[in-house]
């Protein structure tokens, strides 16, 4: 027994559980991507075996606290954040088993005191002659799992059982003839309280419509409307008058009550306030579920239940759907009346919510939702309370354990959809765990008895023995400017105008497709980069290019400005050089028309994984052609604000006639033609006064009608400066030069330790610090321009990752010069990646959920953690290479270097893991405060947790026999970065979820990934062999 307990509390078992947990939830993200979230929850997240895994993790954690003596005064801070994980686990358990969520839909002027559950239930009410029994069981079914459900019970001496036979998604009930079948009818009804309902009646089945009960066969009920199907047709008996509705050739006819009447299919009848029509009736038929390929009106999920009553067996089909209240199916047999429903349930509130007004704001021009809010009054008669409140994104109504979040709005935009959460204790305890965890981690970094501080002391002692001084073997003569390669030499004569005029035109404002008001300089930069893949063209600035294009489009038809990278495509099109003109690709109809049409159609018909490089280039060139056409027809030049427009829409001169009348319309029509004419005159005379006048008139028009959305003059000038500076592209080149120099210096010192290098190292370090300050300034400028923290999309987060990576290097540069060199190289790589066009979106407005201070805190911390974890990976890679090249001549020096870098790896991984953990849980707080759920197993959340588990295992390997040592730590640091890459890139482009960028089929995996894998495998294998030899020689020496 002692051995079992020792194993359960061992670090080996901890590692086993962590690895198994990470693999399980990682696999679940792919299940969700292929088969849906419900399937993933059934098979993994909400499964019984996962609950057992949680229990084992908790038991192991508690036992480890005592086994490794964390319950001591010296290690209290470490104990604190380990206890925090138990608190979080308890809070999550309370949320799972006792918390619930729902939806409240309100129209303006409406009051409600009930919500619709998010969870799906099978609800049952059984009524006998003497008693009534009610059940409601929460269920999750999927077509991709083995679904189970059983509910046995006894009532009035009868034994009853409901058992699931089958579950089907997105189906319709269909009647089919069956010689072994029974009478069956398909009916459509509509009424004031039910809306349209489609249902089927057969023996024993009843359907309640308001005060009426539709049933097959006799029913001793005053509200019964009883149908039968016989040889003579369809018959009905009711205790109320039925009216045959007169339509076209059908005359209205009243059918007296309490008498048997024949009725026909496809004829409308009315009883009370309810209309009904018998769609189909069969004497011998059956009900089958037919699959609807795409969701549409009338398609539902359905469960097929087996009902057993004292040996009598019957199959029932119950329709329902997630998020919709289940309608009751009634079955009566042997004195027992069953009401069964499948779907969401109604949850009563102990108070009411009244919606006074729903307010929807949109971004100017694009009409995309900017924010929405609900003006409500909470009414609680028991407390004699009426409380007005404004609910909007990140502003939650909290009352009596319920929290109401602004989720969405109805299609008519006159009603609100609120998410509702009831989980006070689960949220409170989980938040308490987050707080304890954060405090414990921070104090652990300060606790002199923690492993982190011990490692720092070891590193400091090692530094005293191993003073690093470096030799500058490469002259660093200054920064080299990133040259902007130009487009094809066209021999064209550009519009020759002064730089001041180009600058003034670049500061003219334009509205982009997202509704953001920005200078034309920003638009021009995007267009030129899109067309040419360069920052300028023929020694012309982007603004100069756009001004020339818009003033004289026909001149540019024959200018080779469209980049065509693929040689086979150039050959097939007959293009010389790497650039094509518009006329090269678009011919007259009798000469082929658009030459790419067939190739484009063929490329788009293929799945992304099946497209080769030629297909991709065809699609890219096609996009450039379409952009160029929009430049020629002026579609981008939305420079004229529509006077008095509610949404602050700006339009082009061509669109203006739809929105603007009178003198303003005339001005818009003539403004640019006059300006362009003045420019061509100024080209000859050198006098730009008239051109300045016309341009100033356009700017005055913008300020007159668009003042509310126009940015300040300083912001416009700063954005132009930011665009022209192109700071991050230049920094990428500067960083790689400086970083490689430091790496070379470090390796020279390792192999030539006798050379002194204090002055050169200080010079290079000083330059890197200056570059870092420029990087910081660039982020600050982008923040100011965009009006939000610069890490809301892929491009921004990558330039921030580069900044955070270099920051970590500066923090640790005193410990090891190679750290600063490594992080500088990593920062350059991050900026190179950011510079790729596919990760370079414009500075866009944020969607409503991103308008939160939690965005700044959560994303900043978690993204900064990537820098530390990436540094650990790079140092691990370098360490493995040093192990490969270690020999008798450099053994002593390399051993000290490897040991030094291992200490640095541990420190960086600890800091990175702490930041990753805190950032992830702050993200959970953001999610909870934004849409009412702090954890939903979204793939991004899940892979963040996997990254935490992976690095937790890596840092605890030192306590697991067989996983200790410098090679193991370096390898773990290198391999673990794959979880970060999956979290950052893989989830965004290969998995579906709230955080995903990609739509449809995923793109193919880049070839570079496979090359990197091969390199990593070779290096790890080589280091393993070399390290084994080194250890064996060391043992032989001893």
- pLDDT reading at 853 higher than 60: no
For residues 225 and 353, membership in a common domain is answered with no
Q: How far apart are CA 1020 and CA 806, in angstroms?
A: 26
Listed residue (122, 124, 125, 118) closest to 103, CA to CA: 118
- pLDDT reading at 621 higher than 80: yes
How many beta carbons lie within 10 A of that of residue 797, not counting itself?
Answer: 22
**What are 968-1013's pLDDT values in tens digits?**
999 999 999 999 989 877 787 676 544 444 444 556 777 878 898 9
For residues 366 and 336, membership in a common domain is answered with no
Any idea which of 456-460, 762-766, 795-799, 870-874 has the lowest mean pLDDT?
456-460
Q: Is residue 737 part of a domain?
A: no
The residues, any chain, with a CB within 8 Å of residue 14's CB and separated by 6 or more, are 60, 61, 64, 956
- pLDDT reading at 1029 higher than 80: yes
Count of residues in the chain: 1038
Q: How far apart are CA 834 and CA 174, in angstroms?
A: 55
The two structure tokens encoding residue 429:
């305890």
For residues 340 and 280, membership in a common domain is answered with yes
The H or E element containing residue 307 is strand 300-309
Domain end marker among 711, 742, 765: 711
- Predicted local distance difference test score (pLDDT) of residue 545: 93
Q: Is residue 465 part of a domain?
A: no
Strands 212-216 and 224-230: parallel
Band of pLDDT at residue 717, cut at 50, 70 and 90: very high
∠ CA 38-44-48, rounded to 5°: 110
- Predicted local distance difference test score (pLDDT) of residue 820: 85
Q: Report, as an integer, the average pLDDT of 245-250.
A: 74
Q: How far apart are CA 953 and CA 16, in angstroms?
A: 9
Band of pLDDT at residue 363, cut at 50, 70 and 90: very low
Look at residue 187 and give its three-state secondary structure.
Answer: strand
pTM of the model: 0.70
| Residue that has been written with the tokens 């009346």 in this structure | 337
Q: Is residue 84 part of a domain?
A: no
Domain end marker among 321, 344, 367: 344
Domain end marker among 327, 344, 361: 344
The residues, any chain, with a CB within 8 Å of residue 160's CB and separated by 6 or more, are 126, 152, 153, 154, 307, 308, 309, 310, 336, 338
For residues 397 and 371, membership in a common domain is answered with yes
Q: How far apart are CA 287 and CA 299, in angstroms?
A: 15
What distance separates the 2 farthest-apart alpha carbons in the chain?
A: 114
Q: Is 729 exposed, middle or buried (0-12, 13-18, 19+ CB in 10 A)?
A: middle
For residues 336 and 210, membership in a common domain is answered with yes
The H or E element containing residue 308 is strand 300-309
For residues 335 and 381, membership in a common domain is answered with no
**What are 623-662's pLDDT values in tens digits?**
888 888 889 988 899 999 999 888 899 999 988 888 998 8
For residues 511 and 647, membership in a common domain is answered with yes
Backbone dihedral angles phi then psi of residue 711, each to the nearest 5 degrees: -70, 165
Check residue 327 and report its DSSP letter: P
Q: What's the whole-number average pLDDT of the chain?
A: 84
Among 461-470, 770-779, 819-828, 841-850, name the most confident range.
770-779
The residues, any chain, with a CB within 8 Å of residue 741's CB and separated by 6 or more, are 472, 474, 476, 764, 821
- Predicted local distance difference test score (pLDDT) of residue 840: 40
Q: Is residue 642 part of a domain?
A: yes
Q: Report, as an integer, the average pLDDT of 790-803.
A: 76
Residue of 191 and 589 predicted with greater confidence:
191
- Predicted local distance difference test score (pLDDT) of residue 487: 43
Q: Is residue 445 part of a domain?
A: no
For residues 608 and 647, membership in a common domain is answered with yes
For residues 571 and 687, membership in a common domain is answered with yes
Q: How far apart are CA 178 and CA 421, in angstroms?
A: 48
Q: How far apart are CA 548 and CA 495, in angstroms?
A: 6
Q: Is residue 438 part of a domain?
A: no
Q: Report, as an integer, the average pLDDT of 1027-1033.
A: 79
Q: Is residue 189 part of a domain?
A: yes
For residues 625 and 670, membership in a common domain is answered with yes
Band of pLDDT at residue 793, cut at 50, 70 and 90: low
The residues, any chain, with a CB within 8 Å of residue 723's CB and separated by 6 or more, are 519, 521, 522, 525
Residue of 391 and 860 predicted with greater confidence:
391
| Residue that has been written with the tokens 């359960």 in this structure | 8
Q: How far apart are CA 338 and CA 127, in angstroms?
A: 6
- pLDDT reading at 926 higher than 80: no
| Residue that has been written with the tokens 């992830």 in this structure | 920
Number of domains making up the chain: 4
For residues 302 and 370, membership in a common domain is answered with no
Domain containing 984 equals 860-1038
Band of pLDDT at residue 142, cut at 50, 70 and 90: very high
- Predicted local distance difference test score (pLDDT) of residue 880: 93
Among 117-126, 611-620, 784-793, 1003-1012, name the most confident range.
117-126
- pLDDT reading at 549 higher than 60: yes
Contact between 564 and 573 (Cβ < 8 Å)? yes
Q: How far apart are CA 935 and CA 941, in angstroms?
A: 8
Q: Is residue 916 part of a domain?
A: yes
Check residue 993 and report its DSSP letter: S
Residue of 354 and 482 predicted with greater confidence:
354
**What are 5-29's pLDDT values in tens digits?**
888 899 999 999 999 999 999 999 9
The residues, any chain, with a CB within 8 Å of residue 361's CB and separated by 6 or more, are 369, 370, 371, 372
Q: Report, as an integer, the average pLDDT of 391-403.
A: 88
Residue environment code for 969-988, b if the CB has 16+ CB neighbours within 10 A, otherwise e? bbbbbbebbbbbbbbbbbbb
- Predicted local distance difference test score (pLDDT) of residue 463: 52
For residues 597 and 674, membership in a common domain is answered with yes
The two structure tokens encoding residue 1013:
């894998």
């Amino acid at each position: 027994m002692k051995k079992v307990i020792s194993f359960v509390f061992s670090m080996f078992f901890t590692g086993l559980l962590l690895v198994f947990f990470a693999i399980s939830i990682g696999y679940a993200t792919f299940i969700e991507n292929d088969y849906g979230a419900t399937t993933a929850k059934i098979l993994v997240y909400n499964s019984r075996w996962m609950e057992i895994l949680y229990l084992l993790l908790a038991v192991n954690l508690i036992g480890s606290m005592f086994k490794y003596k964390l319950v001591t005064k010296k290690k209290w801070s470490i104990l604190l954040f380990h206890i925090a994980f138990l608190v979080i686990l308890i809070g999550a358990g309370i949320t799972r088993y006792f918390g619930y969520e729902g939806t409240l839909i309100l129209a303006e002027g409406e009051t409600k005191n009930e919500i619709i559950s998010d969870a799906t239930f099978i609800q049952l009410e059984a009524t006998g002659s003497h008693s009534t029994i009610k059940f409601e069981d929460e269920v999750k079914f999927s077509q991709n799992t083995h679904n189970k459900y059983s509910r046995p019970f006894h009532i009035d001496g009868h034994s009853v059982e409901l058992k699931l036979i089958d579950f089907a998604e997105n189906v319709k009930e269909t009647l089919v003839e069956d010689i072994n079948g029974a009478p069956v009818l398909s009916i459509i009804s509509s009424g004031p309280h039910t809306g349209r309902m489609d249902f089927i009646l057969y023996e024993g089945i009843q359907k309640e419509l308001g005060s009426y009960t539709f049933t097959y066969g006799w029913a001793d009920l005053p509200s019964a409307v009883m149908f039968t199907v016989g040889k003579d047709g369809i018959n009905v008996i009711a205790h109320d008058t039925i009216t045959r509705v007169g339509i076209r050739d059908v005359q209205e006819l009243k059918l007296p009550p309490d008498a048997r009447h024949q009725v026909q299919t496809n004829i409308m009848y009315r009883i009370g306030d309810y209309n009904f029509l018998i769609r189909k009736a069969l004497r011998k038929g059956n009900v089958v579920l037919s699959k609807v390929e795409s969701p549409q009106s009338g398609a539902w999920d359905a469960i097929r239940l087996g009902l057993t009553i004292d040996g009598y067996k019957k199959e029932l089909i119950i329709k329902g759907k997630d998020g919709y209240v289940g309608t009751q199916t009634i079955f009566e047999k042997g004195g027992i009346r069953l009401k069964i429903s499948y779907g969401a349930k109604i949850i009563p509130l102990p108070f009411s919510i009244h919606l006074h007004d729903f307010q929807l704001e949109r971004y100017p021009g694009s009409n995309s939702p900017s924010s929405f809010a609900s003006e409500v009054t909470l009414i609680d008669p028991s407390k004699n309370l009426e409380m007005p409140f404004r609910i909007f994104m990140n502003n939650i109504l909290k009352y009596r354990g319920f929290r109401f979040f602004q989720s969405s709005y109805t299609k008519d935009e006159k009603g609100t959809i609120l998410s509702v959460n009831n989980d006070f204790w689960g949220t409170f305890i989980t938040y308490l765990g987050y707080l304890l965890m954060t405090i414990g981690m921070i104090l652990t970094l300060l606790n002199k008895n923690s492993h982190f501080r011990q490692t720092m002391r070891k590193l400091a002692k090692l530094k005293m023995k191993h003073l690093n001084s470096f030799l500058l073997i490469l002259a660093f003569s200054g920064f080299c400017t990133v040259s902007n390669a130009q487009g094809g030499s066209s021999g064209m004569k550009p519009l020759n105008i002064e730089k001041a005029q180009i600058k003034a035109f670049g500061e003219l404002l334009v509205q982009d497709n997202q509704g953001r008001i920005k200078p034309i300089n920003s638009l021009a930069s995007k267009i030129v980069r899109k067309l040419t893949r360069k920052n300028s063209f023929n020694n012309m600035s982007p603004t100069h290019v756009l001004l020339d294009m818009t003033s004289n489009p026909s001149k540019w038809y024959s200018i080779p400005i469209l980049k065509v990278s693929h040689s086979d495509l150039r050959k097939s099109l007959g293009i010389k050089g790497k650039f094509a003109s518009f006329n090269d690709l678009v011919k007259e109809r009798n000469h082929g028309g658009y030459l790419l049409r067939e190739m484009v159609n063929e490329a788009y018909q293929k799945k992304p994984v099946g497209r080769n490089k030629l297909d991709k280039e065809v699609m890219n060139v096609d996009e450039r052609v379409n952009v160029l056409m929009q430049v020629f027809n002026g579609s981008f030049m939305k420079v004229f604000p529509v006077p008095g427009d509610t949404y602050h829409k700006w339009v082009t001169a061509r669109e203006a006639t739809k929105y603007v009348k009178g003198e303003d319309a005339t001005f818009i029509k003539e403004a640019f033609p006059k300006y362009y004419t003045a420019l061509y005159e100024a080209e000859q005379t050198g006098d730009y006064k008239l051109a300045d006048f016309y341009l100033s008139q356009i700017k005055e028009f913008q300020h007159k009608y668009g003042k509310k959305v126009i940015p300040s003059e300083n912001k416009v000038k700063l954005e132009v400066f930011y665009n022209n500076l192109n700071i991050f592209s230049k920094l990428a080149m500067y960083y790689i030069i400086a970083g490689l120099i430091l790496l070379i210096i470090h390796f020279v010192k390792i192999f030539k330790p006798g050379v002194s290098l204090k002055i050169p190292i200080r010079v290079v370090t000083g330059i890197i610090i200056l570059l870092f300050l420029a990087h910081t300034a660039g982020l600050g400028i982008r923040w100011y321009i965009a009006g939000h923290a610069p890490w809301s999309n892929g491009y921004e987060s990558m330039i921030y990752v580069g900044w955070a990576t270099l920051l970590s290097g500066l923090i640790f540069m005193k410990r090891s010069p190679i750290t600063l060199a490594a992080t500088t190289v990593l920062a350059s790589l991050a900026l190179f990646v950011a510079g790729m066009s596919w990760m370079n979106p414009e500075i866009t407005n944020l969607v409503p959920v991103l308008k939160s201070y939690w965005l700044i805190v959560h994303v900043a911390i978690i993204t900064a953690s990537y820098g530390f974890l990436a540094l650990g990976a790079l140092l691990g890679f370098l360490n493995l290479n040093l192990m490969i090249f270690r020999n008798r001549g450099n053994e002593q020096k390399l051993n000290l270097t490897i040991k030094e870098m291992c200490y640095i790896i541990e420190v960086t991984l600890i800091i990175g893991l702490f930041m990753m953990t805190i950032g992830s849980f702050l993200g959970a707080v953001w999610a909870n405060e934004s849409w009412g759920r702090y954890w939903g197993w979204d793939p991004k959340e899940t892979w963040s947790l996997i990254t935490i588990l992976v690095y937790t295992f890596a840092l605890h390997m030192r306590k697991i026999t067989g996983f200790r040592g410098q090679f193991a730590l370096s390898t773990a640091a290198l391999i673990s970065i794959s979880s970060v890459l999956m979290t950052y890139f893989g989830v965004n482009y290969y998995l579906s979820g709230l955080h995903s960028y990609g739509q449809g089929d995923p793109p193919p995996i880049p070839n570079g990934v496979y090359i990197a894998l091969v390199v990593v495998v070779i290096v790890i294998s080589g280091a393993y062999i070399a390290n084994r030899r080194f250890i064996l020689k060391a043992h032989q020496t001893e």
